A and B are shown apart, each in its own frame.
Chain A
Amino acid sequence: MTAPFLVARNIAKRFGALTALANVDLEIRSGEVLALLGDNGAGKSTFIKILAGAHPPSDGELLIEGNAVAFSSPKDAAASGIATIFQELALSENLSIAENVFLGRELKRSIFGVPFLKRAEMRQRVDGLLQELDAHISDPEAPVGSLSGGQRQAVAICRALNLNARLVIMDEPTAALAVAETRKVLALTRRLAGRGCAVVLISHNISEVFEVADRIVVFRRGRKVAERLAAETNHEEVVSLITGAHPDVRALEKTN
């Protein structure tokens, strides 16, 4: 087994008096799809926002390849190789695909100290990535707001790949997609892991999770309550872990 890309130790997050997350220990490995499951408000979104640098943790530490990191912004997380594809897709609907893929990390050449965009080169890189992902978009200059849900998902994944992300976090990537597009995005997820990326997938769809995940972690009420290899568990057990009916979860919640 390879050394984990990222280790989260004892992560906690409090918003005022509200504890959104407590004592989360987690390892994320390269080349592996890790699924985070849990009910609404279980703390999944808070946890990935910490990984993405959008929230600082109240407690605990993150280690990337053994080195402690502290993110004060999404840019810091990106610099450490973490890319997040948020549920609401942080794409700018008014900008084109290439502009979105490079937003915040534009290719530029300096003329008299002024950074000018290298538009042609950005466009070329994006065309290559789209082809690699087998995503067909008729007009790459169209604003992202005019694309379908699956196409936007592909743009977000392009963005992650272009950042040379080593960990890609996908928050409900298939929530708003039609069946055919869902299949494509799931295939993309496996392809990402195949390229050696670590992938963290948040989903409510358990059968989808079993299709792509290597490992499954269950959150409940701000805690991590279970961790299973996908091959060693089944649909029913995962459901009972999420709802709290599972004896392990009951025992854990009694001791707390």
Chain B
Amino acid sequence: MNGRELSLLVACLVAIVVFSVASPHYATSGNAVTVLRNSVELLLIGLGMTLLLAMGGIDVSIGIVMGLAAIAIGRILGADGSPFLALVAGPAVGALLGCVTAAVVVLGRVPAIVGTLGLLGVYRTAVFALLGGQWLSGLPSNLTDLLAATVLGIPVPALVIAIAYLVVWLAVRRTPYGLHLLAIGNSEEKARLSGIPVIKVRFMTFVVSGVLTGIAATFYVATYRNVEMSVGSTSALDAIAAVILGGTSILGGRCSLLGTVLGVLLLRILQNGLLLIGVPSLWQPVVTGVLIIGVLGFEAVSNRLPLTRFQRARA
């Protein structure tokens, strides 16, 4: 655990103590479950976003990708489809949309921030067209029941997140893929000159991010049993905030998966706590936005000191 991760952990604990004092409803086991429950989708999306930022990419359309996957799952459940089909639908739609993003950004060479912003516009309209101005609601509970199960006493969502974390961690820290990802994030041209299959690695990473987002959509539908018009509209902002908080460089070349997990938890703890002490939920994006600006501002100032950039890269 490096300094950044440790300070995030401390920040989480401080926030918990402060909110416990400020609100009598805060320090309950029910609320702890709520915070963890609310973190599930963001943890999965955040893992993918960590990979994207590490290689110098980004995807601001990722929340709406989750929305589209959620609509696909909702339609299957609404038509009395099998919950197992619904389980496959999320990752499948996520992978498909990941391919679309990769086609635009990697093959089409459109800068990721612009390409995914363009896709965000397209996908938003697609969500509107697919829902026709109406929520998908009153979905059957079969998928919910499936994912509310426990395996050896561990709730399925926790198990899925643990597996996803382990797989991504192994890929990044123990296989050539991780080195290639970080080399691309440092400099695409140098990575290419080193013989790294840059296009393949970048394409694959967008698809992986899509699949993780599709899994997130599955949990979203299982939990809420409806899909609303604004589905996923703050997820990209939240995910980018959490990943940057965790110490992954917005410029690429450096990433922390543990940092992302802690960043997600801190964000959700803050959002939940502020709500409980009476701050309207309308203010949540303000908190997220200020966190992003604060962290990047702090890094910009401290990176002016010579050598810190690369020293920190190893930490």
Contact = CB atoms under 8 A, between A and B. Distances in A.
Given A74-B195, A94-B185, A95-B183, A143 B313 contact: yes
B196 A94 contact: no
Given A92-B191, A99-B179, A117-B176, A104 B196 contact: yes
A103 B176 CA distance: 8
A157 interface: no
Given A92-B190, A116-B174, A145 B313 contact: yes
Contacts of B179: 95, 99, 103, 106, 117
A104 B194 contact: yes
A75 B191 CA distance: 11
Contact of B183 (A92, A105, A141): A92
Interface in A74-100: 74-75, 78, 84, 86, 88, 90-96, 99
B41 to A, nearest CB: 27
Contacts of A106: 176, 179
Given A103-B183, A142-B314, A143-B310, A92 B194 contact: yes
Interface in B31-69: none
Contacts of B314: 96, 141-143
Interface residues of B, number: 27
Majority secondary structure of chain A interface residues (helix, strand, loop or mixed)? loop
A108 B175 contact: yes
A101 B196 CA distance: 13
Contact of A145 (B176, B195, B196, B310): B310
Interface in B175-222: 175-176, 179-180, 182-183, 185-187, 189-196
A96 B182 CA distance: 11
B176 A115 contact: yes
A94 B313 contact: yes
A94 B187 CA distance: 10
**Closest 6 A/B residue pairs (Cβ):** A104-B195, A145-B310, A90-B193, A75-B195, A94-B253, A92-B183
